[in-house]
């Protein structure tokens, strides 16, 4: 494959900028709010169960998280939580939405260096407006030929995006922190994947899949190693 023919897709949250760390700090505030009712493990387990139950209806993102957090708090306090405390949860969600975008180390430089050589797409799931706002704040938008914000990242989603942009899977490299959402479905289509693990991973993104795609799958510690992956693929 000629190096210049390679199209590169990037995940956004926890690949280009910090996200799970913001959720983690929100979980800490949430546990503190409910600490006089339940231990941390119970709070975490119940919130996660609520989120999973609501996922089909709410989808991903901060607003659905906030609604699930309120519902869980009402349940865990048997209705004893005060309106003032619920307002704190609304404020917590608002703080997450208004949070500054902190780029991951190497993201800005690497994207700037690759953009002149490659067609690059941003492919992210979550809340439409929130993802658009984060991209605008990131100042990375100019590097992407297209931005695809989707409600779920599976093989069908990627197949649809590749078809829409007339990209052959064998010319496509996806870069992201989630094996389940960024790598496995793209490898299944015949594309390549560069996994950049983030130090935190939401339980829902865990996968049991053993990735086996010699010559098409790479694990890197930093986006700065992407040029080496591209060279290996060429």
Candidates 32, 49, 52, 90: give the one binding a second copy (CB under 8 A): 90
Count of positions on this chain that bind a second copy (CB under 8 A):
33
Q: Binding to a second copy by residue 98, rule CB under 8 A?
A: yes
Say whether residue 141 binds a second copy (CB under 8 A). Answer: no
Task: Compute the half-sphere exposure of residue 212: CA atoms within 13 Å on the CB side of its CA.
Answer: 3
Binds a second copy by CB under 8 A, chosen from 74, 113, 141, 155? 74
Which alpha helices (DSSP H) does 139-225 contain, by range?
155-164, 184-188
Comparing CB distances to a second copy, the nearer of 110 and 138 is 138
132 is a site residue for a second copy (CB under 8 A): yes
DSSP state, 60?
S
Please provide residue 162's backbone torsions phi and psi, each rounded to the nearest 5 degrees.
-65, -40
**DSSP letters spanning 116-145:** TTSEEEEEEES-HHHHHHHHHHHT-GGG-S
Which of 127, 135, 194, 218 touches a second copy (CB under 8 A)?
A: 127
- Identify which of residues 64 and 185 has a Cβ nearer to a second copy in the complex: 64
Task: Specify the pairing of strand 217-219 against strand 192-195.
Answer: parallel
Task: Please choose, from the candidates 2, 7, 18, the residue with its C-alpha nearest in 3D space to the C-alpha of residue 198.
Answer: 18
Of residues 32, 52, 113, 128, which one binds a second copy by CB under 8 A?
Answer: 128
CA-based end-to-end distance of the chain: 5
Q: Which stretch binds a second copy (CB under 8 A): 2-10, 59-67, 199-207, 224-232?
A: 59-67
193 is an interface residue for a second copy by CB under 8 A = no
Do residues 123 and 174 lie in contact, with contact meaning Cβ atoms separated by under 8 Å?
A: yes
Q: Which residues bind a second copy (CB under 8 A)?
A: 57-59, 63-64, 66-67, 70-71, 73-74, 77, 79-84, 86-87, 90, 93-94, 97-98, 127-130, 132, 149-151
């Amino acid at each position: 494959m000629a190096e210049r023919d390679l199209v590169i897709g990037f995940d956004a949250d926890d690949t280009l900028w910090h996200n799970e760390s913001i959720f983690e700090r929100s979980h800490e505030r949430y546990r503190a709010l409910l600490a006089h009712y339940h231990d941390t493990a119970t709070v975490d387990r119940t919130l996660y169960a609520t989120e999973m139950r609501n996922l089909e209806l709410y989808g991903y993102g901060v607003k659905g998280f906030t609604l699930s957090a309120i519902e869980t708090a009402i349940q865990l306090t048997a209705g004893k939580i005060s309106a003032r405390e619920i307002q704190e949860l609304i404020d917590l969600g608002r703080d997450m939405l208004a949070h500054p975008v902190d780029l991951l180390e190497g993201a800005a430089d690497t994207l700037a260096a690759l953009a002149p050589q490659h067609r690059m797409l941003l492919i992210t799931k979550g809340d439409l407006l929130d993802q658009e706002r984060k991209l605008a704040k990131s100042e990375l938008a100019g590097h992407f030929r297209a931005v695809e914000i989707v409600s779920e990242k599976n093989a069908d989603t990627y197949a649809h995006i590749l078809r829409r942009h007339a990209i052959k899977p064998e010319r496509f490299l996806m870069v992201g922190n989630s094996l389940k959402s960024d790598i496995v479905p793209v490898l299944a289509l015949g594309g390549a994947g560069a996994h950049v693990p983030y130090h935190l991973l939401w339980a829902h993104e865990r996968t049991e899949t053993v990735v086996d795609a010699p010559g098409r799958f790479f694990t890197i510690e930093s986006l700065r190693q992407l040029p080496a992956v591209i060279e290996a693929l060429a």
